[in-house]
Amino acid sequence: MTTPTPDDPFRDPRSMGAAGSDPLDVPAAAPTEEIGPDERAHLGHLGLSRVGAEELLRVEDLHVDFPTDDGVVRAVRGVSYSLNAGEVLGIVGESGSGKSVSSMAVLGLLPKSARIRGSIRFRGDDVLGMSQPAQRSLRGRRIAMIFQDPMTAMNPVHTIGDQLAEAVLSHELMPRRKAMARAEEALALVGIPQPKTRLRSYPHEFSGGMRQRAMIAMAIINSPDVIIADEPTTALDVTVQAQILEKLIEVKDAVGAAIVLITHDLGVVAGMAHRVLVMYAGRAVEIGETDEVFYNARMPYTAGLLGSIPSLEAQDASRLRPIKGAPPSLINLPTGCPFSPRCPLATDICREQEPALLPTDSMGHVAACHHWDELAGVDDPTAFFRSESEASR
């Protein structure tokens, strides 16, 4: 466990400057004004870039089921979100909450056994209804993906250059030489030294961090509109993580892409994302501006997540306060709120009715909780979890 330092926005959302005074008032579906350069300073040293007015991606009521021997795994159960040009949307949630599955559905990368319902629109076009070739021409060209483990995500038998050039050549007919030149540029952009000679290297000759850079280069090589980054730094050294994220933001701006950033690390989201979507048991349970969600969580699960990060402000309780218990089985979901077995605020209604995702007290901030107003009534929502676990000691 790394000890957080005061000036490390990756680690502690609360250490950030005067956030909240000027929330980026971008409701889920209606983009409004852009932030000026002067406002960027207080958003942490990575800086948040502009959010465009154009809506790129709209996912509505997405469901994904996997029939298995033991029953139907309901991995995603009605997720909706939208993404604007240039925006960074963070998706957080425990392992198995459906983050990867919901984003892979967007690219059509799920195994054949998956049953997908709902609608996914890219620039208004229905992705799920598209022909195979049309879907393929989106993949890697308009929407690119960065995967978690750079060790296994690259083909060990082809050179880095070939794998990058291939991404270009599959969408555009051009001489290999030119594609290689593009690959070289992309490698240079992500900060790989001597990109020309590195084109001929194989993935195993790269370090983990370099490979992830190469993966980023592969994702941006066609200047996509959307990059989906699925835990891009989880497999990396802590020291490399920051560099990679910084690079990601830098190249995102260079090619003008929006990012869906999937992560376990709330600190990363706090420093980089305009908005956050919290997932639990296959559903979105809270969506809103990053600062809104982090300072005014309206769903106990989110509060619990925040409570499990080491906090500087709460010096007195420097221990971790994890959420007790395990997420429910996705095969036999209990009735009612899926979080109710672990929730300190749970009442009878929670065990009977699954709460819908509804607006809360602030603009563009929605949460799925029967008792969100109770959270609104306290200063530090994470305290619910603290008092619980402290009491049990």
Which residues sit at the interface with ligand ATP, rule CB under 6 A?
66, 68, 73, 75, 93, 95-101, 111, 330
Near ligand SF4 by CB under 6 A: residue from 300, 304, 327, 364: 300
Q: Distance between CA 6 and CA 349 in Å, rounded?
A: 41
Query: Interface with ligand SF4 includes 343 (CB under 6 A)?
Result: yes
Site string for ligand SF4, 346-375 (x = CB under 6 A): x---x----x-------------xxx----
**Partner in contact with 269, chosen from ligand SF4, Mg ion, other proteins, none, beta carbon below 5 to 8 Å by kind:** none
**Partner in contact with 95, chosen from ligand ATP, ligand SF4, Mg ion, none, beta carbon below 5 to 8 Å by kind:** ligand ATP
Q: CB neighbours (10 Å) of residue 285?
A: 25
* Residue nearer to ligand SF4 on the CB measure, 218 or 350: 350
> Which own/partner contact pairs does 212-215 have at CB distance under 8 Å and 24+ positions apart?
212/146, 212/150, 212/236, 212/240, 212/244, 213/187, 213/244, 213/247, 214/150, 214/154, 214/160, 214/164, 214/187, 214/190, 215/146, 215/147, 215/150, 215/153, 215/154
Tokens of 185: 């540029």
Residue 226 DSSP SS3: strand
Element (H, E) at 68: strand 55-68
Closest approach of ligand SF4 to the CB of residue 323, in Å? 11
Per DSSP, what are the bridge partners of residue 60? Answer: 119
Q: Distance between CA 22 and CA 39 in Å, rounded?
A: 8
Closest approach of ligand SF4 to the CB of residue 196, in Å? 54
**DSSP, res 360:** -
Binding segment for ligand SF4 (CB under 6 A), chosen from 107-115, 213-221, 241-249, 344-352, is 344-352
Closest approach of other proteins to the CB of residue 171, in Å? 6
**Which among 64, 53, 52, 21 has a CA at the least distance from the CA of 281?**
64
* Residue nearer to other proteins on the CB measure, 100 or 290: 100
Site string for ligand SF4, 61-90 (x = CB under 6 A): ------------------------------
Near other proteins by CB under 8 A: residue from 3, 21, 95, 131: 95
Query: Interface with other proteins includes 134 (CB under 8 A)?
Result: no
Tell me the site size for other proteins, rule CB under 8 A.
59
Closest approach of Mg ion to the CB of residue 79, in Å? 14
Binding segment for ligand SF4 (CB under 6 A), chosen from 158-166, 171-179, 221-229, 340-348, is 340-348
| End-to-end Cα, the chain, rounded Å | 22
Closest approach of Mg ion to the CB of residue 100, in Å? 3
> Which own/partner contact pairs does 109-112 have at CB distance under 8 Å and 24+ positions apart?
109/145, 110/64, 111/66
**DSSP, res 139:** B
Give the DSSP letter string of 367-378. Answer: E--TTHHHHHTS
Strand 88-92 relative to strand 258-263, pairing = parallel
Closest approach of Mg ion to the CB of residue 101, in Å? 8
Binding segment for other proteins (CB under 8 A), chosen from 20-28, 29-37, 139-147, 371-379, is 139-147
Near Mg ion by CB under 5 A: residue from 15, 100, 102, 382: 100
* Residue nearer to other proteins on the CB measure, 282 or 364: 282
Closest approach of ligand SF4 to the CB of residue 342, in Å? 8
Closest approach of ligand ATP to the CB of residue 113, in Å? 6
Near other proteins by CB under 8 A: residue from 116, 329, 351, 376: 329
Kindly give the residue spans of alpha helices, DSSP state H, lying in the chain.
37-40, 99-107, 132-138, 160-169, 176-189, 195-198, 208-220, 238-255, 266-272, 290-295, 300-307, 348-352, 372-376, 383-392
Near other proteins by CB under 8 A: residue from 28, 323, 345, 375: 323
Q: Distance between CA 16 and CA 20 in Å, rounded?
A: 10
Q: Write b or e for each residue in 71-89: b if 16 or more Cβ atoms lie within 10 A of its Cβ, otherwise e.
A: eebbbbbbbbbbbbbbbbb
- Residues of this chain that bind other proteins (CB under 8 A): 66, 68-69, 73, 94-97, 100, 107, 109, 111, 136-141, 144-145, 147, 149, 152-158, 166-167, 170-171, 173-176, 202, 204, 215, 218, 264-267, 305, 308-309, 322-331, 389
